[in-house]
Structure 1
Amino acid sequence: MASHILLVIASFLAIISALATASDPSPLQDFCVADPSSSVRINGLPCMDPKLVNANRFLFRGLHVPTNTSNPLGFGANSVRIPGLNTLGIALARGDFAPRGVAPLHTHPRATEIATVLEGSLLVGFVTSNPENRFISKVVQKGDVFVFPKGLIHFLYNVGDSPASVIVSFSSQDPGFIVVADLFGTNPSIPNDILAKAFQVDESIIRQLRP
């Protein structure tokens, strides 16, 4: 009897653990092609009538085309939008980097990210919460794959003398994108004294960092 009770408890804990670590909900149908024309708003987009769906709803062309990096960051990204990905819990993007270009410190609150290097050399890294504030980084080359755990602050930086590019995939159809520097430009503004305490600097520094 005791062994049966332990088995039930273990099963219950396993289920709770799975629920706690799950990302987007699993679909209850073969597919749910997004219908952007619908006025209904749910957690994800409503489904098209499956009888009206064709192969083009699962297709994206142009991932081979570099994105624009002629900006102060030297970084450009193209988020692949495929209606057929709706409710499937994944997303895809291409990122391009000019020499010394950077995808600055940011986080995806709803997704783990996997980056596959197409060209170039990139310094990549993230900061852990457990153990606290450990910095894990690596220079990755063409053909390498690097994982950024869900929700952790991370970056990608082109350390080479030629353009670099990556394909990134996410474990959510809407991973979210929060840039650390955007804390200085929120609307409405976060009070200067809070930011000063958070970054352990004088308020005058915060005022200089405001856009």
Structure 2
Amino acid sequence: MTSSSTYKRDDLSIDQRLALATAARRLGEEFTGVFGAETIERFLHTSYEQFATKAAVANFLPLLAERFARQRLHALARVEGKSDGRPIVLFLCVHNAGRSQMALGFFTHLAGEHAVGWSGGSEFASEINPAAVASMAEAGIDISREFPKPWTEEIVRAADVVVTMGCGDACPVYPGKRYLDWELEDPAGLSVEQVRPIRDEIERRVRALLAELNVPVP
């Protein structure tokens, strides 16, 4: 399927339809007893639609849609009161390609199974900043398999803490939600050497946040 501003299921190739059908089956098995097939199909196809205009990831659209739909379904379950008790932190920036991805990388690495981290962007990019990937690799954390993604209502509502980084008025605001605004330089267009101080400051802030949440770290 070519990049298009209008997503239609009829435009999908046979391979894409099969891939989405397989994804729906996997999600259905994972969320048995939690959500019905109709909800899973809706989340899967709306997730696909959100990535459909990103030509750079066109070959991986079914996989990205499945991964994002899974996150959204977990978020919806949390909103509906089906929680395992772990704190959820959402990191938001404009493109979800640099700062928020590095923050998520540190958070996931340090928190392990004790907390849940998500990230998103108000105008998500087509790929992660290579300098951010390289600088995180220097710290022993691989974020190369992550991908920029948007935020959705259920994801924001499910989060216990929303950390914003430069998205200003574009970041979602929900009453009663805890928000933290981290003023950090945007790594877009910077070299790996220039990104390192930003990376180190993000690690410091993530560690401090985990301490506030009483999440044990190595």
Q: TM-score range by the shorter chain?
A: under 0.3
In our comparison, the structure showing a higher alpha carbon Rg is 1
Could you say which structure has the higher strand fraction? 1
* Structure with the larger helix share: 2
Please, what TM-score do these two structures have when normalized by structure 2? 0.21
TM-score for both structures, normalised by structure 1: 0.22
